[in-house]
Structure 1
Amino acid sequence: MSERPMAQTLATQLLDSYEAGSSFFFASPKRTLLTRGTFATVPPLEGQDALQRLPEHVTAVLNDARNAGHDIPVVVGAVPFDGSLSSHLVVPMTFQRGGPLSFDTASPARPSTARYTVRPVPEPAAYLHGVAQALELMRSSPLRKVVLSRSLHLDTPTPIDLTQLLRNLAQRNTAGYTFAVDLPAQPGASGGRRTLIGASPELLVSRSGLQVLANPLAGSAARSADPVEDQRRASTLMESPKDLHEHAVVIDAVAEALRPYCKTLDVPKRPSLIHTPTMWHLSSRISGELKDPSITSLTLAAAMHPTPAVCGFPTRLAHEAIGSIEPFERGFYTGTVGWCDATGDGQWAVTIRCAEADERTLRLFAGAGIVVGSTPESELAETEAKFRTMLQAMGLGQSAEVQP
C-alpha cells in the first residue's frame, strides 16, 4: 500500500480523482481520504452478534495485509443499520490523504440536465399514519423514541453523474462528512455498480491515539432563506422542550456506550447549535480518553451503533417498531461509514443525508425522531427538509416530477 503525505496532496485533487466503481472517498472537516482498488475484503458476518465480532475480524484482516506487505493497512467502507447483517469493508490497494476541502467560491450546484421521476416510499399519507402508530406505541409501552424514515426513488433515462454529485455535496457541506462508497451488487440482481453517496452532518465516533470524540445530533429544525426567520427557528430549537428531551435521550445513551472504554469522559451539560445549508441541529461534542490503546475506532463504533439518533430508545423496542412500520429495508442508511487503520485510529460518520445509487436510479433517505410531543405533520415536514441536502446537490431543489 502507498500513502502520499498530507502536505503533498491537495484535497480538491483527491475529490477530482474520485471514480465511481473503483474508489472510496471520505472528507471530514479536517482531512480528505481517497482509496482505490481492493487488496482484501473483510469476510461477511451475519447473525445477532455480527457487529460485535466485526472489530476482531477487521484486526485479523489488517494483520494479514500488513504481513503481505501493505505498510499502512486500513479498512474503509460501510456498516448497515441492522447490525446482524453483513458490513462492506475492504482493504484498498492505494490510499491517499489530504487536508480539509476548501473551495474558492461558494458557487451553486451545477444544474442537473437529467429528467427524474420521483416516487415516495411510503407515500406521505402513509408516513403520517406511521408516525401516529409510533405515538400510540409510546402511550402503551416503555418506548420513548423511535426514528421513522422515508425514501424517494428517483429514476432517469440517462446515466447519473456521481462524480459531479459528490463534488456538489462536498462543496455545500464542508463542515460535515462527505462520502462515496462502492457497494456489492444486490443478491439476485443482474449486476451493475451500486454506490452509497451522501453528506452527513453527524460524527458517530473518531479515535486518534487515546483521544475519543463523538458528536451526536438530535433535535432539528429546517433552515429559512429569511435571516430573521432563520434565527428565530434556531432560537426556538434551543428552547424546545420536545427537542431538548429528544437530544437528552441520545446523549445519555452515547455516554453510557462510551463510558466502559474511557477513563475520562466529558459530556456537555447543554447542547449547542450547528447548521448545514438546510437544517439546524442540536449538537453535543462528547470527548474522552481511552483506558486501553487496543480499543479501536471500530470497536467504539460497534458499541455505540445504532444510537437513539437513528433508531430510538429503548433500542430493541425502537428497532421492532421500525421493522413493523417502515415499508422498506434501510440497508446502509442510518448505518455508519468511515475508516479504521491498523493502529486503531479512524473516523466513522452516521450514514444520513444520503442515497444509494446505481447507473440510472437513486434511492434517497430521510428520517425524523418521534417522541412524545411530536406531530405527524411536523415530522413529515422535517423529512422533506432533510431530503433537500441530496436534492439541492443534484440541482433539483424541490422541482423533480413526483409520480402518483
Structure 2
Amino acid sequence: MVVPASADTREDAATFVFSTPEYRLTGHGVRAVVAPRTWGGADVAAAVEELLHRGGHEGPVVGCIPFDTSRPAVLYVPEDVTWRHGAGATGTDGSDGSAPAASSPPLPDSPGYREAVRRAVERIDAGELEKVVLARTAVLEADRPFDIDRLVGDLGAANPHAYIYRTDLGDVGTLVGASPELVLRSRKGAVTSFPLAGSVPRDHGNPELDRELTRRLLASPKDRAEHGHVVHQVGEVFRRHAENVVVPEEPGVVATPVILHLGSRVTGRLPGPNSPAALMEMLYDLHPTPAVCGWPTPAARAVIDDLEDFDRGMYSGLVGWVDAEGNGEWALSLRGGVVTGERARLFAGAGIVSGSVPEDEHRETATKFATFARVLQNQQRRTVTV
C-alpha cells in the first residue's frame, strides 16, 4: 500500500542520516510511508516495491526495523534527499570540533545483568540453546536537551569507519549511534554481509597489548564458537537467496575504538533482476542474526523475553536504505541509544555461550556503552541511572 504523508507529517522536521566512509545519505521530511498489510518480510518487501515502482516516488526508502520484526518498522521516502560521496563521508557535520571524552562517564553496576548471564549459562549448559545475546540499558541525563546534530557529528569524528545513523522516532525520541556491523549491502545485485561476533575490549593506547589481544581472540575456542554460529546462519540465508556464495573458513579481526571483534565477510549475487523486494526479503530473512539474538533463534528469543527487563524497541534492529534499483545498505542499530530531550537511554549487549563469565560479559557491555557515552559526555551531564 502506498500512503502519502499527511500535511502535518510533510512539514515535520523528521531527519534521517546514514553515513559511511564512502558516502553520507541525509533525508528531511516525509513524502510517503511504507504501509504493508502485515509486518512480515514478504509483505514489507512488496510494500517497498510498490512505493518505489508504482507509487511515483524516486526514493530511496529509508528508516529502521525493530529487533522484533513482527512489530512496526519506520520506513518512508523522505521529502528531500541529499547524497555526499567521497573519502571520509562519515564526516563531522554538527561537531563543534572538540574531541570526545577520553573516558566514558561512570555507569552504575548491574548485579541483575550478571545474574541474568548466570541463568542464561545454566540454560545453555542444560541443552536448551547454544547462544543468547543479553542486553542491558543505562540512562544519562543532561541539564539541557541534547544537541542531536552535534551527537551525530561527534560520533562520526570518533568512529570514522562506522555506520553513523540517526532516525527520528516521533514521540519515542531519536535513534542515534555508530554501528560497526553491516547486515546486508546490495550493489547491482552483488550482496555482502559482514557479521561480527566474539569480542574482547581493547587497549587503544597500547599497540603491543592490542596485538596480544588479537592473537588471543583468534585462538579463543569460546569466541570462535560464538562467531561460528553467526556465520553459519548468515551463510544459510545467503544460499537461499543468492548464487556464488562465499563464506570464509577463518575469521579476521575488526577493531573499533573500544573493542576487537571476530568478523567474516560473506558474499554472493542475487540470481534474478535486481529489485527492492529481493533485497528486503533477504534482509528480513537474515534478521535477527545470532549476533543480536542467539541460536537456535526461537529458544534464544524465549530466553531474552524471560531474562531482559526492558523493551529493545529499535535497539539491535536494522537501520539503512533501499532504492528503486534494489541497491541498499543496512547496518545493525548498535553502539547508540534513544535520545529524548535531555535524556539518553543507552543499550549494549553481549553474546552468552557455555563458559561465559558474568563479570566478563558485564565488563564487555560497559565497554560497548562507551562508544555513545563518551560523545554524550561532551554535552553537560547531570546523572546516570539504570
TM-score normalised over the length of structure 1: 0.85
Q: Percent of aligned positions with the same letter in both sequences?
A: 36
SS of corresponding position for 1:77:
strand
TM-aligned CA distance change 1:400 to 1:384, over 3 Å: farther
8 A Cα contact 1:109 1:392, kept in partner: no
Matched residue, 2:332: 350
How much does 1:65 deviate?
Answer: 3.4
8 A Cα contact 1:207 1:346, kept in partner: yes
SS of corresponding position for 2:55:
helix
Give distance in 1, aligned partners of 2:187 and 2:193: 12
Matched residue, 2:88: 101
Give distance in 1, aligned partners of 2:268 and 2:31: 33
Give distance in 2, aligned partners of 1:341 and 1:26: 14
Which residue of the other structure, out of 231, 234, 239, is the alignment partner of 1:259?
A: 239
Which residue of the other structure, out of 279, 303, 307, is the alignment partner of 2:289?
A: 307
Pairing 1:155–2:141 present: yes
Pairing 1:50–2:21 present: no
Pairing 1:33–2:19 present: no
TM-aligned CA distance change 1:219 to 1:21, over 3 Å: farther
How much does 1:160 deviate?
Answer: 0.5
Which one-letter code corresponds to 1:210 in the other structure?
G
TM-aligned CA distance change 1:378 to 1:117, over 3 Å: closer
Deviations along 1:231-284, one digit per CA (max 9) or x if unpaired, are 211211111110000000000000111111112101111000111111111010
8 A Cα contact 2:183 2:195, kept in partner: yes
Unaligned runs of 5+ in 1: 1-19, 187-193
Which one-letter code corresponds to 2:110 in the other structure?
P
Matched residue, 1:59: 49
Pairing 1:205–2:184 present: yes
Matched residue, 1:367: 349
Q: Within 5 Å, which residues of 2 pair with 1:116-127?
A: 124-127=110-113
Which one-letter code corresponds to 2:124 in the other structure?
M
Which one-letter code corresponds to 1:62 in the other structure?
L
8 A Cα contact 2:189 2:326, kept in partner: no
8 A Cα contact 1:31 1:97, kept in partner: yes
Matched residue, 1:23: 15
SS of corresponding position for 2:82:
strand
Q: Which moved more, 1:204-213 or 1:21-30?
A: 21-30
How much does 1:185 deviate?
Answer: 2.3
Which residue of the other structure, out of 286, 305, 311, is the alignment partner of 1:323?
A: 305
Give distance in 2, aligned partners of 1:396 and 1:219: 30
Q: Which moved more, 1:28-37 or 1:338-347?
A: 28-37
Give distance in 2, aligned partners of 1:226 and 1:81: 36
Give distance in 2, aligned partners of 1:154 and 1:44: 36
8 A Cα contact 1:119 1:152, kept in partner: yes
Matched residue, 2:5: none
SS of corresponding position for 1:394:
helix
- Pairwise CA RMSD of aligned residues? 2.5
TM-aligned CA distance change 1:118 to 1:156, over 3 Å: farther
How much does 1:394 deviate?
Answer: 2.2
TM-aligned CA distance change 1:127 to 1:346, over 3 Å: same
Number of matched residues? 366
8 A Cα contact 1:211 1:290, kept in partner: yes
Matched residue, 2:4: none
8 A Cα contact 2:131 2:295, kept in partner: yes
Pairing 1:233–2:230 present: no
Which residue of the other structure, out of 110, 119, 125, is the alignment partner of 1:133?
A: 119
Matched residue, 2:155: 169
8 A Cα contact 1:21 1:195, kept in partner: no
How much does 1:118 deviate?
Answer: 8.2
How much does 1:226 deviate?
Answer: 2.1
Which one-letter code corresponds to 2:263 in the other structure?
S
Matched residue, 1:332: 314
Deviations along 1:361-396, one digit per CA (max 9) or x if unpaired, are 111000000001211011001001101100122236
